[in-house]
Structure 1
Amino acid sequence: MLKVLIVEDEMFVRIGFKNSVNWEKFGMMVCADVSNGQEAWEIYLKMKPDIIITDLNMPVMSGMELIEQIRQIDNKTRIVILSCLEEFSLVQKAMRYGVSNYILKLTMEPEEIDEVLVKVSEEYKSHMRLQETKGVIHNPDTLKENIINNFLFYPLYSEQEFTNLVLKQKLRLSPENLIVSVMEINNFGLTRSKFKDSKGELIRYTILNVLNEMLIEWNRGEVFAEKEDRYVFLFSFIDVNSQKEIRETLLALMDHIRRVLNRYFNVSVTFGISRKGNRYGDLKALLSEAAEAVSWKFFLGTERSLFKEEYRWDNFHLQSQEKMEKLLTRWGNVLPDKHAERKAIVQSFFDSDVKDPKLWIQLFVRLLLIDYNPLLSIEAKALDTVSLAAEQVSQCETLEDCIQTVYRLLASIEQWNQTSRQLSKEVGKAIKYILAHYRESCSISELADTLQVSPNYLSSLFRKETALTFTDYLTQVRIDKAKELLLSTQLKSYEIAELTGFSDDSYFSRTFKNKTGVRPNEFRKMKVHEERGRDNAPFVAKD
């Protein structure tokens, strides 16, 4: 069993996290849980845990200080960060110390935690196997890939040992004019569904074979799969003299790869390209540069070749800020009530200098949920609801896609506002009453008494103007609110039923399935799996 140490100063978060995970399922056991870095350091020296899950901001000794101390003597122990979105600048710094992953406290779903723990466990076991074998394998088809992986990701070879292996295995590499490129498949969830390959192994095998064939044809470089949707190229240009020629050769090769993958597999890709290095020892830094460059597709657009040396983060970060300010102005004009709150959230986000596209998408979802309005759902055929917009944003590949999704939503809300202004005074008051009291027992008779009209008159008028009965409208509002809670909280089904006005969990579950086709828990799992398909693993761009 792998020993896990949990470090978190908030007692309820620590105990809740410890008790909410079925550790045995992952071959793990919690050996200790402590409230600060100093206590964790003492436990680490005494018990040598295999995995440490730690907060960053803690008294006595911070999580950052703990990580730094451990990494001075040990790079075997896997480390996962528990963090808030506001701490992301610290998360970026911590990632430089070989942190395996991170979990956002405010948004962590059980499935997300499971995925992180599975990956950390596999990473630890893989690291131990490689240490035991020193990377020696007997399958010639994977020998090249393992040599490169062992040098780039694990401290198994010195630079001289790697040089000797490159020569021995006749890899198409030389330490002169080294460049690393990272190729990322766009909209990978669609690619996986087309291949009908839930695990990604078929995709990896097929694309890797095609890429190797093209490199053989060009007699240049080596390639390996870092993840199912990401491939790393190592190039050397000992035969090319000028930087201009190197760039033109790279662009020609990448255009060729892009055309082949698009023609035969209907796959689109984006490339990130590092600057130039002149020794194998530069490869790790060059890989980091290429990974950062390919992540810029979120800001600059997909299906491009993005050279690290040609773009500055400050420039397109400023452009992104200007776009967001323009969007917020429009947002405030349409929905003024929460304008100050939205501006404060966005300003805090920009102050943190966040580069991770996944966190930008989470920002948009957070902003959208501020304005969640079940009222829009009655015009589902004509209007985008806020919840639907949040789902659409989670599938976006670029910042521009996210922004345009919100603009479309705001246009829909404006249209709805114009329509809703045509409602009679009685129906308008009825809708406001429902939105204020949907958690309670609501009846049209009580509402009619409040409005001093007959129930039959109000019922007829309501149906005429909304195309729904009072009961159907109330139920739809409750279902839409339940959807929001299922996607944005970890509340149990019975708790959500109580918060949304259903008499009991069984009735809530039946009604939810009648309206959506699935039970509440199935709806939550379905949305989580869809997100996993779109974004199989979080990526944090390096500074």
Structure 2
Amino acid sequence: MRILIADDEPLVRIGLKSVIDWKGNGMEIVGEAADGAETLEQISSLSPDVVFLDIKMPKKDGIAVMKEMRQLGSTAKVIILSSFDDIAYVKEAMKLGAVDYFHKPAMNEEEITAVLKELQSEATQGGFSPKQPRADHPASSKADDLREGLRGNSGVMRRSSHLKEAGIYVLLFSIKHYGTVIKRYPHEQPHILPDTVDNIVAEVLGKEKETEYLRIDDRVSAVLISNSELKSLLASLNRVNGLVQTLTTALKRFVNVDAVFGISDWFSSFGGLETGYAQAQTALEQAFYMPEPSVFYFHFCKPVDPSSLEQSDVLLASMKNALREGNFKKFKEILERWQKLVERARCLNEQEARKVYEGLLFMLDERKPDAEAAGTGETFAELSASFNRVIERATAEKDSSELKLYSLLIRNVIRYLQEHYTEDLSLKLLAEQFQVSPNYVSRLFKQEVGRGIFEYINEIRIEKAKALLKDYRYKIYEIAEMVGFNSQTHFSTVFQRLTGVSPKEYRNDEG
């Protein structure tokens, strides 16, 4: 397999070349490129099988390169290289056919090799990745024809499928709580569940006209339906819903699993199958945010607001900066805002959200066993909760270890402030408590901690106030007094300055 590496950072190119035993894995690096224009020249002259493509490069960025690759007729698989805060660009690249993406700061040999091996296997076995178009070729089986049909190859569908070009729908379904369900089966025989699902679906569809079935991977399967004998859209949709109900009942009865379905709009010709597949995939991804429904229709899916992706990227960049500065309090505050944004806007799919969390853990240098087990949830809420536990522990440990870097006096001052933040604190009081001059303790604190004592005290008080604001038993002026402020006006001023919103706005947002 021939590899082209396109990235404007020499260290990234060197790292990719060095980290993998290319020859031993039956692969060869045939070229390198440092900008988009050079990348297109290399693709045209070298005809690589796989291109590692940086999303942001001089002259032409990765998106422009991929668009021109299509125009050139290149069938090379594209693996995107990005930063954590390039999600908007990554999503566009995936729509253009990228097979996967890696965040450069967190990519490792095992993940890269696994993806390349999978592509290598697909090349030799005629495997399938619906997002990646490829040149037409004689189909070796019904499954291959269906795969080609989902890429938009109408000819093979007319030649060998049971479908007619009328009232066509694409259904995708997956098993809920797959990670838990698969544990029922012997570790060495993970294929039993998907094979059983195949048999059940084949039995159900055996009684139906104009249907086809294709297993996409162990977790996701596709059912294609046409309705040439039905005269109305309503009748076609009723048939689709009936079939979904029949499949749901059969899977529950015979395998005791719950399925979730994503259903495309209808299409009048095979040329719509590629779009239908993308629509069904978008619909199925809604389960990541809404675990209760079992059926999602693309027709009712709200398109992702581009501004939410931009906001997500901005917040991710801010989180990265906070981690670089070692400001874990600020990092966790921004993380909370990012999580609320993503959950409200539903702007990331499961893979994208997981990679963000994994990247953050990488930046925290968190490689403990429980960190590796994080992210076992199947919904955004579950995923966030599992990663948050690891992040909370990691940041707490780093805060504790950084405390050791301070002098004994400042460590003791910090502990005192954390215990007595509700009291009327002053430099004079601290000086008397620790038997030093007020100027000395003030100067040393700012020198070691990076901010003044009273700024630090206010940060503690506001953090405590945020927790109390979630409890509606307390009025805002009561909370101000509880955390050590002498007036509600002063409390509100400090709260607005440190959080960007008023106490009342924060309470309403949390509620």
1:23 match: secondary structure: coil
Equivalent pair of 1:52/1:77 in contact (CA under 8 Å): yes
In 2, the alpha carbon distance for the partners of 1:365 and 1:149 equals: 31
Which amino acid is 1:15 matched to?
A: I
Give the corresponding residue for 2:499.
none
Cα distance, 1:240 vs structure 2? 3.3
Give the corresponding residue for 2:380.
399
Q: Which residue of the other structure, out of 160, 168, 171, is the alignment partner of 1:165?
A: 160
Give the corresponding residue for 1:240.
230
What do the CA deviations read for 1:217-242 (whole angstroms, capped 9, x no partner)? 34451111111111100011233344
Equivalent pair of 1:26/1:121 in contact (CA under 8 Å): no
In 1, the alpha carbon distance for the partners of 2:363 and 2:357 equals: 10
Q: TM-score, normalised by structure 1?
A: 0.61
1:271-350 matches, within 5 Å, as 271-301=261-291, 304-314=294-304, 338-342=331-335
Equivalent pair of 1:87/1:352 in contact (CA under 8 Å): no
Which amino acid is 2:18 matched to?
A: N
Alpha-carbon spacing, 1:82–1:284, altered in 2? closer, same or farther (3 Å)? same
Equivalent pair of 2:80/2:100 in contact (CA under 8 Å): yes
Give the corresponding residue for 1:135.
138
Cα distance, 1:177 vs structure 2? 0.7
Alpha-carbon spacing, 1:74–1:125, altered in 2? closer, same or farther (3 Å)? farther
Equivalent pair of 1:89/1:354 in contact (CA under 8 Å): no
Q: Is 1:361 aligned to 2:342, yes or no? A: no
Cα distance, 1:433 vs structure 2? 10
In 2, the alpha carbon distance for the partners of 1:371 and 1:236 equals: 51
What do the CA deviations read for 1:98-122 (whole angstroms, capped 9, x no partner)? 3222222122232211111112222
In 2, the alpha carbon distance for the partners of 1:370 and 1:305 equals: 37
In 2, the alpha carbon distance for the partners of 1:372 and 1:107 equals: 10
Cα distance, 1:259 vs structure 2? 2.5
CA-atom RMSD in angstroms: 4.3
Cα distance, 1:298 vs structure 2? 0.2
**Unaligned stretches of 5+ in structure 1?**
138-142, 326-334, 375-385, 418-430, 441-445, 452-543
In 1, the alpha carbon distance for the partners of 2:399 and 2:359 equals: 26
Which amino acid is 1:269 matched to?
A: A
Give the corresponding residue for 1:88.
87
In 1, the alpha carbon distance for the partners of 2:143 and 2:398 equals: 63
Give the corresponding residue for 2:246.
256
Alpha-carbon spacing, 1:98–1:199, altered in 2? closer, same or farther (3 Å)? farther
Which amino acid is 1:249 matched to?
A: R
In 1, the alpha carbon distance for the partners of 2:109 and 2:271 equals: 40
Cα distance, 1:279 vs structure 2? 0.7
2:262 match: secondary structure: strand
In 1, the alpha carbon distance for the partners of 2:189 and 2:116 equals: 17
Equivalent pair of 2:304/2:347 in contact (CA under 8 Å): no
2:23 match: secondary structure: helix
1:40-119 matches, within 5 Å, as 40-119=39-118
What do the CA deviations read for 1:179-228 (whole angstroms, capped 9, x no partner)? 11001123333343333365754433322121011011344511111111
Alpha-carbon spacing, 1:387–1:77, altered in 2? closer, same or farther (3 Å)? closer
Cα distance, 1:91 vs structure 2? 1.9
Q: Is 1:151 aligned to 2:153, yes or no? A: no
In 2, the alpha carbon distance for the partners of 1:160 and 1:433 equals: 62
What do the CA deviations read for 1:295-324 (whole angstroms, capped 9, x no partner)? 111012156111111231459x98xx99xx
1:300 match: secondary structure: coil
Which amino acid is 1:193 matched to?
A: K
What do the CA deviations read for 1:117-136 (whole angstroms, capped 9, x no partner)? 11222233345999999435
Alpha-carbon spacing, 1:344–1:128, altered in 2? closer, same or farther (3 Å)? closer
Q: Among the aligned pairs, what percent are the same residue?
A: 20
In 1, the alpha carbon distance for the partners of 2:399 and 2:290 equals: 46
Equivalent pair of 1:178/1:234 in contact (CA under 8 Å): yes
In 2, the alpha carbon distance for the partners of 1:348 and 1:253 equals: 36
Equivalent pair of 2:6/2:39 in contact (CA under 8 Å): yes
What do the CA deviations read for 1:41-82 (whole angstroms, capped 9, x no partner)? 222233222221110211123222222222212242222111
1:416-435 matches, within 5 Å, as 435=401
2:86 match: secondary structure: helix
Equivalent pair of 1:26/1:117 in contact (CA under 8 Å): no
Which amino acid is 2:175 matched to?
A: I
Which amino acid is 1:110 matched to?
A: E
Which amino acid is 2:86 matched to?
A: E
1:183 match: secondary structure: strand
**Unaligned stretches of 5+ in structure 2?**
316-327, 413-511
In 1, the alpha carbon distance for the partners of 2:398 and 2:155 equals: 73
In 2, the alpha carbon distance for the partners of 1:19 and 1:369 equals: 20
Alpha-carbon spacing, 1:100–1:405, altered in 2? closer, same or farther (3 Å)? closer
Equivalent pair of 1:188/1:229 in contact (CA under 8 Å): yes
Give the corresponding residue for 2:35.
36
Cα distance, 1:397 vs structure 2? 1.0
Q: TM-score, normalised by structure 2?
A: 0.64
Cα distance, 1:7 vs structure 2? 0.7
In 2, the alpha carbon distance for the partners of 1:354 and 1:297 equals: 13
In 2, the alpha carbon distance for the partners of 1:152 and 1:78 equals: 17
1:498-537 matches, within 5 Å, as none
Q: Which of structures 1 and 2 has the larger relative contact order (alpha carbons within 8 angstroms, sep 6+)?
A: 1
Instruction: Figure out how many residues of one structure are paired with residues of the other and give that number.
Output: 388
Equivalent pair of 2:304/2:346 in contact (CA under 8 Å): no
